[in-house]
Structure 1
């Protein structure tokens, strides 16, 4: 993913970077029209547009309808919420998105977090 410097900064200041790091994971997307779309996240961008594969679409209007598709695109303006599994490592996903966005971003973030963990949580001798 090639992003400009400003796009990288915007992405790092929002949770879109978490969504970018979740590529290849199973998600359930809740839309504003009360439909649910379940599938594997293939790609996402800064506008929260999602591209899914192996998709099951559940519509709950007058009847409960289920439709299956191989691939599906969802515009970010139609998304209400994105659901993930409970066993997701959030820090790993964010670090992964930084690595996908540009060289050195993930390493710098990991180094800062490790330095912070070592200095902030280490008990100092008296």
Structure 2
């Protein structure tokens, strides 16, 4: 449980590869670069992995990355869990959840870049 907690608190979820048209690769070296070195998009599956095959996961990921209906092709989506709640940047909206408090703020274009750097240490 401690490993999961550490993972959730330290690995952010983002979709920057998708709007940058960087294709999904299951090559071991590419996955290492994406997950470990560059913190690229990381898919998490709630169901046990033994119910999934690499082919079915790959197909689902490609659909998510390429479908015009996918939210990932419409907005930036950055999200991370914090000790108090969650911080999310969805398009031009910054959402901060602290306990039971919810703060939503519409951002100007320059502020989107600033907040991505501030909260996620990412340049977009």
Same fold by TM-score, threshold 0.5 exceeded? Answer: no
Looking at secondary structure, tell me which structure has more strand per residue.
Answer: 1
Greater fraction of residues in helix: 2
Higher Rg: 1
TM norm structure 1? 0.28
Q: TM-score, normalised by structure 2?
A: 0.28
Larger relative contact order (Cα-Cα within 8 Å, sequence gap ≥ 6): 1
